[in-house]
Amino acid sequence: MKVSYKAALMSGFVFPGAGYVTLKMPKRAAVTIIAAGVCLYGLIQITMMKTYALMDRLIAGDVAPDMVSMLKALQDTSAMSMGWQDYAGYGFMICWGLSVFDAIRLAKKV
C-alpha cells in the first residue's frame, strides 16, 4: 500500500490532517489539525450548552422526566442560536473531506 493511501486512511479514520504527518508535510498538517480542532471544540461547546439548557429546564421542573417530554424540550433548545458554533459541524466535515481527498490526490501524483 502506498504511503499516500495510508495518509488518506489516517486522515479519514484518526483525525483530519493526521495523514499529512505521515507524508512529512508539517505545515499542511498543522493548519488542518488546528482548523479541525477549532471546529471540534465548537461542536463540543454547542453540545454542552444545549445539554446544560435542557438539564436546567429539567431540574426547574419545566420538563417532565420522560423521554417524549425531553425530546420535545431538546427540539426547543435546538432552535437556540449559538453563533459560529452553529456552523462548526460543517467546518469539521470540510476539513475532514479535504484532508482525505488531498491525500488521495497526492497518491495519484506519486
The span from the CA of 85 to the CA of 40, in Å, is: 9
Cell of 73: 424540550
Task: pLDDT tens for the chain, 110 residues: list them.
Answer: 677 688 888 888 999 988 888 888 899 999 999 999 999 998 898 888 888 888 888 888 888 888 888 888 877 776 666 777 778 889 999 999 999 898 888 877 76
The predicted model scores a pTM of: 0.76
Q: How many CA atoms lie within 13 A of 75 on its CB side?
A: 5
For residues 5 and 107, the answer to whether their CB atoms sit within 8 Å is: yes
Residue length of the chain: 110
**3-state SS class at 3:** helix
What is the domain count for the chain?
A: 1
Q: Determine the structural domain holding residue 14 and report its residue range.
A: 3-109
